Structure 1
Amino acid sequence: MSKYMQLFQGTSFSSKSPTEIQILRDYLYCINADGMIERIVAPEDADYQSLLDTYQGSDNFHRLEEGQFFLPGFVDLHVHAPQWAQSGTALDIPLYDWLNTYTFPLESKFSDLDFAQQVYEDVVSTLLANGTTTALYFATVHKEASLRLAEICASKGQRGLVGKVVMDDPAQNPDFYRDADTPTALADTEEFIIAVQELAKTTKQGVYPVVTPRFIPSCTDEGLRGLGELAAKYDTYVQSHCSESDWAHGHVKDRFQKNDAFALHDFGLLRDKSVMAHCNFLEDSDAELFAETGTAIAHCPISNAYFANSVLPVAHLHAKDVEIGLGSDISGGFSPSLFDNIRQAVISSRMLEDGVNTALSAETRGVKDARITIHEAFYLATAGGGESLSLPIGRIQEQYAWDVQAIDTRVPSAKLPIFDEHEDLQDVFQKIMYLARPEHIREVWVQGEQVHSR
């Protein structure tokens, strides 16, 4: 019989498709030395009992208790790590003012490595405690602090994709917070890429460098072109903001006489490893370009409600074969929990379909077929995120990483309203999605290693 590093027993929920949940009741999950799910064994399988007999009572056997369930770890496709220090503040002003009055002054402080260490330690720990096992991070323009974030992800066991932000246009960025010049921005980015790739050699769960122009308004043409060349040279991930708001979308159209998507593509920044945040103002031709290049969208529903002037048409973009995952967008989004963003994704989609202006007739005030279900929103936070990153994560499935969160529905201080032990598991899943809080997350595992417990 195979010797597995870990054996887990319990009931799990995972996405079978964007609209269907797979429920594995009381299965065994066999985890190999690489932290991958080597086998999933059903109770009716011939060797189920013999595996139980072999592993029960050992330190590497883990059985869920009654009322506990496995979910895949969440994949957060858009986090501004330094902005954790201002989360929950200044959400009542326009995006342009928010950036210049609050965000850029805060991010400039990350030249202080001690301050960066303090904030980054806390944000990584907080996200893990909220069930986020993989995060795609914007850091700041500071190379050393950005590398420190990657090191913290590595040491805490989170799968981190980290970008040193580029803001090289002196005409568009404050003097106190920008790259010294374009050659420095590109040189620092290349050195950062090499350092993170070296760090990744000793990191089980993986850390990855990400080419990160903040957004087109912050960057020169030369800087954007150079970043596209670096992404191709080192085959890295790419992230930026794309067509987020009236202001940002309009700025690019005025500058290039084309939408963000085509401008980014001209600079070599749309590729299979690209994830663009927001994208609320994509036109159909932009969406088709995303599908053609394999570029994914980080949907940030809470943040969009504050800053994007619109609702992302998730159902429409999915129908055009665009990959979509979910992002918290700390701190434009106030919550570090993808549970909260799952809920807001559903709420926003229903408002898009039904409309909000009662001065219009019911037939004309909304967008037909725009709503998504809780199953679809869960897919965005898990399997959709994994597909957006082209990594074997986000599903409880053989040959996927054992990235999971164990949910306890019977926490004494926050028991979920489950009164019948035989309640339909589809209903239990929905109650978890709508009602779970951080205290319900009993354990978190990444690549077969426990990284959080209560």
Structure 2
Amino acid sequence: MFNNTAIQGNAFYSMDFNKIKYVSNGIFCVSNEGYIDEVYEEDHKDYDLIRFKYLKSGKLRILSDSEVMLPGFVDLHIHASQWPQAGTALDRPLETWLGEYTFPLESRFKDLVFANEVYLDVINTTLTHGTTTAMYFATVDRESSILLAGLCGESGQRGLVGKVVMDDPSSNSDFYRDASPEEAVYETEKFINEVLKIQNTYKQKIYPVVTPRFIPSCTPKALEGLGMLARKYDVHVQTHCSESDWAHQFVKEKYGVNDAKALDNFGLITEKTVIAHAPFLEPDDLKIIAGKKTSIAHSPLSNAYFANSVLPLKDFRSKGVNVGMATDISGGYSPSMYQSIRQAVISSRMLQEGVNPSLPRDERGRPCSSITINNAFYSATVAGGIALNLPIGKLEKGYSFDVQIINMENNIPRFYKEKNPEDLLHKILLLSESSNIKEVWVQGCRVK
């Protein structure tokens, strides 16, 4: 029996945080279920035999020398409902951006016609930019949140979707919030069950996510109920955590502990939890997160606009914390994980070297903070799979065949052969636009 298909070509993926694997003219055998059954490199003893058999069966796709495969990106934090305002009002204060732009926009998603139009567009746009797995915040509205999950499934994207909870009347406007903690928990449980009913309808699957917006927007009763649901259904959890000075201090004053400890007390810090931003985590917070195998969604673009800080990614990793990557539409303006990779590297260098030229050089920055392009590529792929407890992010046996096929004929100068394959990968990551992404595959199916 032959596998569903095989693709022969050059490919890159991360072996670990620092090392890149380059596969030259490999044959990637994909099962009917959409997983990589085997990878045959040119020096494999059966390479010629396997290639002949696939050619004879008509199931071998051969990429050109100007094409290369990369793993699909894993975007760990996107507000799908904020897509219409991407690139808008990022020069305004956060409270203005939320109160005058974001919450009025999110409240419109009770209109399923509007929701359908927006959600289809954000899914198609992120797929076009190479994002094969996305963890989405929807809105407080259950029906349109279920709609988003279904649209992910139908479009071929692996979507993890959360109905947002924000029930505290002292922190949220009457026009946009859950009516009570009881309703917030009831609607979330109903949402979870509705998504689980259709989860296996789609080859790549879709997943419900317990989603308190963040502690300041939720009552203790709602947070406690959401923690119970996360345990009951063993589902993913997502929230914002220690995103800004204000949010970090708010939780300290209300609960007497930091965000991470408070979330843990409510049962919301698990190995399936992804906390967005988190630049203000303290040493004790990192111990909790590392111990529970909770991951961080690093959002370098939005951190620059609204967190007024840079996540010390390298330091957090040294404490045992897994850090993935995110676009954070629309606090981040771009739907492209390529932009997040680039900004993550830039921000880390600014953190290390410092930005105030009036200070002496050895006093400006935070030593040993700079990350490499290899580090950022790992965070956008392998670390995302680790965060979600899913076999994604690598092009190895047993992993889902989630790939983007890059055409290097445009935007990427090729006047001579690079000194090594890694130099070529860096060119691709730093220069590619969506127009370079020729095809996108999710779970063995071509979706672009």
User: Letter of the aligned partner of 1:120 in structure 2?
Assistant: Y
Report the TM-score, using the length of structure 1 for normalisation.
Answer: 0.97
User: Letter of the aligned partner of 2:95 in structure 1?
Assistant: Y
User: Letter of the aligned partner of 2:416 in structure 1?
Assistant: D
Query: Could you say which residue in structure 2 is the equivalent of 1:233?
Result: 232
Q: Residues of 2 paired with 1:131 and 1:60: CA distance? A: 24
User: Letter of the aligned partner of 2:198 in structure 1?
Assistant: L
Query: Could you say which residue in structure 2 is the equivalent of 1:340?
Result: 339
The 5-angstrom pairing of residues 424-439 of structure 1 reads: 424-439=420-435
**1:97 Cα deviation from its structure 2 partner:** 2.2
> Which shows bigger deviation, 2-11 or 102-111?
2-11
Q: Residues of 2 paired with 1:307 and 1:120: CA distance? A: 24
Query: Could you say which residue in structure 2 is the equivalent of 1:440?
Result: 436
User: Letter of the aligned partner of 2:398 in structure 1?
Assistant: Q
Q: Residues of 2 paired with 1:59 and 1:76: CA distance? A: 35
User: Letter of the aligned partner of 1:160 in structure 2?
Assistant: G
**1:35 Cα deviation from its structure 2 partner:** 0.3
**1:424 Cα deviation from its structure 2 partner:** 2.3
Query: Could you say which residue in structure 2 is the equivalent of 1:218?
Result: 217
User: Letter of the aligned partner of 1:430 in structure 2?
Assistant: H
* C-alpha distance 59-337 of structure 1, shift in aligned 2 (>3 A): farther
Q: Residues of 2 paired with 1:100 and 1:159: CA distance? A: 31
CA contact (8 A) 1:295 1:322 kept: yes
Q: Residues of 1 paired with 2:234 and 2:443: CA distance? A: 23
The 5-angstrom pairing of residues 106-145 of structure 1 reads: 106-145=105-144
Query: Could you say which residue in structure 2 is the equivalent of 1:287?
Result: 286
Unpaired segments ≥5 residues, structure 1: none
Query: Could you say which residue in structure 2 is the equivalent of 1:417?
Result: 413
> Which shows bigger deviation, 45-54 or 435-444?
45-54
Q: Residues of 2 paired with 1:325 and 1:60: CA distance? A: 35
Q: Residues of 1 paired with 2:418 and 2:376: CA distance? A: 26
CA contact (8 A) 2:35 2:443 kept: yes
Query: Could you say which residue in structure 2 is the equivalent of 1:17?
Result: 16
The 5-angstrom pairing of residues 72-83 of structure 1 reads: 72-83=71-82
Q: Residues of 2 paired with 1:27 and 1:420: CA distance? A: 23
Query: Could you say which residue in structure 2 is the equivalent of 1:160?
Result: 159
**1:57 Cα deviation from its structure 2 partner:** 6.8
Q: Residues of 2 paired with 1:291 and 1:194: CA distance? A: 30
Aligned pair count? 448
Q: Residues of 2 paired with 1:394 and 1:422: CA distance? A: 25
The 5-angstrom pairing of residues 14-413 of structure 1 reads: 14-56=13-55, 60-411=59-410
Q: Secondary structure at the match of 2:201?
A: coil
Q: Residues of 2 paired with 1:126 and 1:59: CA distance? A: 32
* C-alpha distance 112-26 of structure 1, shift in aligned 2 (>3 A): same
User: Letter of the aligned partner of 2:13 in structure 1?
Assistant: S
CA contact (8 A) 2:418 2:424 kept: no
Per-residue CA shift, 1:273-298, capped at 9, x if unaligned? 00000001001110111000111000
Per-residue CA shift, 1:19-63, capped at 9, x if unaligned? 110001000000001100000001122221122222227653211
Q: Residues of 1 paired with 2:62 and 2:83: CA distance? A: 35
Q: Please list every run of at least 4 consecutive aligned residues from structure 1 whose deviation after the TM superposition is greater than 6 angstroms.
A: none
CA contact (8 A) 1:418 1:428 kept: no
Please give the root-mean-square deviation of Cα atoms over the aligned residues, in Å.
1.0
> Which shows bigger deviation, 121-130 or 90-99?
90-99
Per-residue CA shift, 1:213-267, capped at 9, x if unaligned? 0000110000000000000000010000000011111111111121100011110
Unpaired segments ≥5 residues, structure 2: none
User: Letter of the aligned partner of 2:171 in structure 1?
Assistant: Q
Q: Residues of 2 paired with 1:424 and 1:292: CA distance? A: 38
> Which shows bigger deviation, 53-62 or 19-28?
53-62
Q: Percent identity?
A: 51
User: Letter of the aligned partner of 2:443 in structure 1?
Assistant: Q
Q: Residues of 2 paired with 1:89 and 1:304: CA distance? A: 16
User: Letter of the aligned partner of 1:420 in structure 2?
Assistant: Y
* C-alpha distance 59-173 of structure 1, shift in aligned 2 (>3 A): farther
Q: Residues of 2 paired with 1:52 and 1:421: CA distance? A: 27
Q: Residues of 1 paired with 2:416 and 2:267: CA distance? A: 55
> Which shows bigger deviation, 238-247 or 45-54?
45-54
Q: Secondary structure at the match of 1:164?
A: strand
